[in-house]
Amino acid sequence: MLEKTVYKKLLSHAFDFPVTVKYWDGKSETYGEGTPQAEIDINKELSMKEVAKHATLTLGEAYMNGDIDIKGSIQQVVASAYRQSGSFMHDKSFLKFIPKQGHSEKENTKDIQSHYDIGNDFYKLWLDPTLTYSCAYFEHDDDTLEQAQLNKINHILKKLKPERGKTLLDIGSGWGTLLYIAAEDYGLHATGVTLSEEQYKYTKDQIQKRGLEDLVDVKLEDYRETTGQFDYITSVGMFEHVGKDNLPGYFKKVNELLKPGARALIHGITGQHNGAGVDPWLTKYIFPGGYIPSVSKNLDYMIEANLQIDDLEPLRRHYQKTLEIWDHNFNGVRDQVRDMFDERFCRMWDLYLQAAAASFEAGNIDVMQFLLTKAPSGEGLPMTRDYMYTEK
C-alpha cells in the first residue's frame, strides 16, 4: 500500500481545517484536529506520480470524472488548501508541464471562442439579465447581481469622468452592456471589439433593438487590428486573455488608441505573486491561453507604455461574492445544463466557479481597476476622488 502511504503524506498537511478522506478501499481517515469540515471520497486509486507531477490537473480531472467526490463546500476545501502553506496548491513545480501557449491573432480567436461561444443560451441560464460576465460591484449588502453589475459599469464610467459627445472604445466588449449604458446614459459614441462571434451577433442585435445605430458600433476583430484614437478606453476582464508575452504590447496598444490627454479604465484579475499566473487544469478546460499577471508586472507594463496611473482599486471581495452567486445560479439550473451538455461538463463548471471563488477568498488573486491617463497623472480630473461616487 505504498500509494496510500504517499496519499496520507500528501493529505495530512493539505488543509488548514480537519478533513475526512475516504479511500477507494472503503477505509476513512481524518486529518487535523476537531470536527471534520468536509469529506473527500477518493473512489478510484489515482497515480501518485501524476498527482505529484501536476496536482491540480490530475485532481481536477478526477473530480470531473467522478473519481473524486467532495461532501461539503468545494469552495471551502479549496480555500483551505490555499491557506495552508504546506499544501500541494502552493507547489509551483507543475508550471514546467504547461505547454508554451501561442497568442497569434488566430490562436487568440480560437481560445476566446472556445469559452465564450459555448452558447448564449448557456450563459443566459445563470448570468444576470445584463449578461455581464465579470466582477460585479456591491454597493449595498442587499444588491441583486443585476444591480451590482450595473453598479460596476457606472463605477467604471464615472471614474473616467466622461463628457457627452466624446468617443469610447471598449476592448473585449462582451455582450455589450457597457456600450449601451455609455451611449444611453452618458451620451458617448461607443465602439466595442470582441473575438466572440456569439457576443458580436448578440450585440449587433441589441444595438438595433435599442435604436443605438448612431451611437454604438461593435466589431468582430482582434484588438491589435483596431485603429483610430478615442477619448476614453475601457477594457474589462480582457488582459487575462492576451497572454504573458503580449501584455507589454497590449498596454502600448491602449496608449496608441488614446488621444493625447485621454483616459482609460482597465479592469482585470491579477495575481499576488510573479509566476502564479497559470494553472494547468484551468488552462486546459476553462481558459486556454489565459495568464493572470501580477499587480507589479502590470504596473511595469503600464509605465513602459507611457501611461500614468491615476487610481488603483482592488475588488477582491466583490469578485468572490459574484462567483458565489454565479455558482448558486448555476446549480439552480444544473438539470438544464446537463441536458445541454452532460454531467462531466456540470462538474467541470461547478468546480471552476467554486475554485475561483476560493482563490479570491484566500487572497492569492485579486481583481483591480486601473485608471490611467495618456498625460501627467490626474490631468483633467478633479483634485479628489469624490467625483467617482457622486451622481452623474
Residues 98, 280: Cα–Cα separation, whole Å:
6
The fourth-level CATH superfamily of domain 105-315+363-389 is Vaccinia Virus protein VP39 (3.40.50.150)
Decide yes or no: CATH 3.40.140 for domain 2-96.
no
Selection from 222, 251, 196, 244 nearest residue 372 by Cα: 251
- The three-state secondary structure class of 59 is helix
Q: pLDDT value at position 112? A: 42
Give the cell for residue 231. 477619448
Residues 369, 316: Cα–Cα separation, whole Å:
11
What is the pTM (predicted TM-score) of this model? Answer: 0.91
Helix 177-186 crosses helix 145-160 at what angle (to 10 degrees)? Answer: 60
Residue with cell 467604471: 156
Residues forming a β-bridge with 68: 42
Positions of CATH 3.40.50.150 in the chain: 105-315+363-389
Q: pLDDT value at position 37? A: 95
Residue with cell 458600433: 217
Q: pLDDT value at position 90? A: 54
Let me know: does 371 contact 162? Beta carbons within 8 Å: no
Q: Per-10-residue mean pLDDT for the chain, 392 residues long?
A: 69 88 92 93 86 84 96 95 72 44 49 60 96 97 97 98 98 97 98 94 98 98 97 96 92 98 97 72 87 93 98 98 98 97 96 96 95 96 94 62
Q: pLDDT value at position 49? A: 77
Give the cell for residue 285. 478546460
Judged on CB neighbours under 10 Å (0-12, 13-18, 19+), 211 is exposed
Positions of CATH 3.30.1050 in the chain: 2-96
> Can you say whether residue 314 is alpha, beta or left, with left for phi > 0 and alpha for psi between -120 and 50 degrees?
beta
Residues 19, 14: Cα–Cα separation, whole Å:
9
Q: In the chain, count of helices (H) and strands (E)?
A: 15, 11
Let me know: does 136 contact 152? Beta carbons within 8 Å: yes
Residue with cell 486529518: 31
